[in-house]
Structure 1
Amino acid sequence: MTTTGTTLVIGATGTTGSRTAAQLTAAGHHVKAASRRATPVAGTEPVPFDWYDPATHTAALDGVDHVYLIPPLGDSDPLLPMLPFLHQARTAGVHRAVLLSSSAIPEGGPAVGKVHQSLPDLFDQWAVLRPSWFMQNFTGTHAHARSIRDEGVIWTATEGGPIGFVDAEDIAAVAVRALTDKQAPNTDLVLTGPEALGHDDIASIITEVTGRPVTHHRLSYEQLRERLKTQVPVEFASMLADMDRAIAEGAEDRTTDTVHRLTGRPPRTFRAFLEGEMRCSS
């Protein structure tokens, strides 16, 4: 691992951004932690940042040579606010950009897929992280976690489709390598955990580890889309429901060696993740 100057971590209070910032600072790197309210993040220099407020971009980029990009949440066309910033970043001296995308969205695909497509033309050093679904979706304030707590139910339209769920700590560990290794990946990286699990499997493991009965309730595509429309914008709800339908058809039935290959250690299993969460909360 080589030393960077300053890394701007966008979304530094979020699921992967907070972990990436923490791991970078632990390794001795200087981090600007960007969030809407410039929330203090231990060991970092907090800066205000809003994708939709270009007035916040210049100060955030000052002195930065690496950037970790989290697209604006819930925006079905993030290229619109992101592209001007990426051009500005290049002009300001950023030479390496690492973008968080999704295993479900290929280069040139919808939403962040268009940002992915633009990155190699803007930066000589780059990477696109395409993680599978987060293990953290079943904890904290996420929708699945809420329905597990409130109803003992996980609601999806994935049927029995398996997913290589991945721990956000492992995503952050890959992000740190992509940002700081002497040679940038200059490719997209599909990140998964060590096993592909269906939501029936997830419900069983949660039941076993926590002692609380949890079941997976299978919705139709239409039922899920209507449910999501009460939580997120209509276009985003449709896109999320489309992803569940793709999972049901086997689109996420895979595992990769990327985490192990880049970090030198195997990715965490869902059971180990959940047991760790239980220890932390006890």
Structure 2
Amino acid sequence: MTESDAILVTGATGTTGSRLVARLAAAGLRVTAAGRSATAVDGARAVRFDWDDPDTYGDALAGADRVYLIPPPGSPDPAAVMLPFLRRARAAGVRRAVLLSSSAIPAGGPAVGRVHQALPGLFDEWAVLRPSWFMQNFTGDHAHAHSVRSEGVIRTAAGEGRVGFVDAEDIAAVAFRALTDTRAPNTDLILTGPSALNHREVAEVLSEVTGRSVVHEELTPEQMRDRLAAFIPAEFAALLADMDRAIAAGAEDRTTDTVRSVTGLPPLDFRAVALREAGRSR
């Protein structure tokens, strides 16, 4: 990467994108922060970018050598817009792509799994980040966080299934290395926190940290699907409900040492992140 090259970050105002832009800019790297509105970001060139509007692709890709990819939110078929963009990115001179996927979706799986499968054929340098569920789902702008703040309730169909929840700061730290290290990982990286918790345990930590009662309300997968379908596409709601069903069956009950091995620092646990985020909201 030369001084004239830029790193394009899509979803630059989102949960991981905003944190990644801050890290890249602080390191003195040229960053293009792309989002649906060209929101000013300290140290970065802000451009408007919309997956559904190819007219926005050119400005975003101008001068880009590497790209961080956030799939279009809520889309059951992100490959439909992402693959044409990635072919255009390759033609424009992008040589490394880092994709944010999910620990629950393997290469060739549903939704972003198709993009994961295609990435090695499009770029010689690539990485797919497959984080477990975000700790910020309970502290940020996620539906769980809203119900925690307004009702003191977390509603899932995950039962007592455990999840290796991971801090978005740790995801951004791994993304930074995947984009800037001399050699690209050329693999997928499953990212978790240091321990796996069920949602009842998450609620207990939130109760202790916030000083107010938070409980976990168990739904059936069908109830979860119908609840989600009230505000997101039905196909995507069904996918998320199926993910909860898989969590209940133990699919996410694991931890990895990927964050430490890539960044050299251990991942934060949920209590530490909850305390940090509570401090920010005061």
TM-score band w.r.t. shorter chain:
over 0.9
User: How far, CA to CA, are the matches of 1:136 and 1:3 in structure 2?
Assistant: 34
1:88-131 per-position Cα deviation (integer Å, ceiling 9, x unaligned): 10010000000000000000000000000000000000000000
Aligned to 1:206: 206
The answer to whether the 8 A contact 1:2-1:180 is kept is no
Matched, 1:181 2:178: no
Aligned to 2:59: 59
User: How far, CA to CA, are the matches of 1:83 and 1:226 in structure 2?
Assistant: 30
Aligned to 2:98: 98
Question: 1:41 Cα shift?
Answer: 1.2
Give the 3 Å change call, closer, same or farther, for CA 230–62 of structure 1 in structure 2. same
Aligned Cα RMSD in Å? 1.2
User: How far, CA to CA, are the matches of 2:7 and 2:110 in structure 1?
Assistant: 27
Residue pairs, 1:214-253, within 5 angstroms? 214-253=214-253
Aligned to 1:24: 24
User: How far, CA to CA, are the matches of 1:135 and 1:279 in structure 2?
Assistant: 15
Question: 1:2 Cα shift?
Answer: 9.5
User: How far, CA to CA, are the matches of 1:279 and 1:48 in structure 2?
Assistant: 32
Choose 244-253 or 147-156, whichever is displaced more: 147-156
Question: 1:142 Cα shift?
Answer: 1.2
Q: Which runs of 5+ in 1 are unaligned?
A: none
Aligned AA for 1:64? A
Aligned AA for 1:167? D
Residue pairs, 1:267-278, within 5 angstroms? 267-278=267-278
User: How far, CA to CA, are the matches of 1:193 and 1:185 in structure 2?
Assistant: 20
User: How far, CA to CA, are the matches of 1:58 and 1:211 in structure 2?
Assistant: 49
User: How far, CA to CA, are the matches of 2:67 and 2:247 in structure 1?
Assistant: 31
Aligned to 2:13: 13
Question: 1:281 Cα shift?
Answer: 2.1
Question: 1:141 Cα shift?
Answer: 2.1
Give the 3 Å change call, closer, same or farther, for CA 187–211 of structure 1 in structure 2. same
The answer to whether the 8 A contact 1:116-1:128 is kept is yes
User: How far, CA to CA, are the matches of 1:127 and 1:240 in structure 2?
Assistant: 24
Residue pairs, 1:65-84, within 5 angstroms? 65-84=65-84
> Helix, strand or coil for the counterpart of 1:227?
helix
Residue pairs, 1:115-264, within 5 angstroms? 115-264=115-264
| Runs (4+) off by over 2 Å | 1-5
Choose 20-29 or 158-167, whichever is displaced more: 20-29
Question: 1:140 Cα shift?
Answer: 2.5
> Helix, strand or coil for the counterpart of 2:128?
strand
User: How far, CA to CA, are the matches of 2:40 and 2:277 in structure 1?
Assistant: 24
User: How far, CA to CA, are the matches of 1:265 and 1:35 in structure 2?
Assistant: 30
User: How far, CA to CA, are the matches of 1:4 and 1:58 in structure 2?
Assistant: 17
User: How far, CA to CA, are the matches of 1:53 and 1:280 in structure 2?
Assistant: 35
Question: 1:3 Cα shift?
Answer: 7.3
User: How far, CA to CA, are the matches of 2:104 and 2:276 in structure 1?
Assistant: 27
Q: Which runs of 5+ in 2 are unaligned?
A: none
Give the 3 Å change call, closer, same or farther, for CA 2–255 of structure 1 in structure 2. farther
Give the number of equivalent residue pairs: 282
Aligned AA for 2:179? L
User: How far, CA to CA, are the matches of 2:270 and 2:3 in structure 1?
Assistant: 32
Question: 1:5 Cα shift?
Answer: 2.5
Question: 1:68 Cα shift?
Answer: 0.2
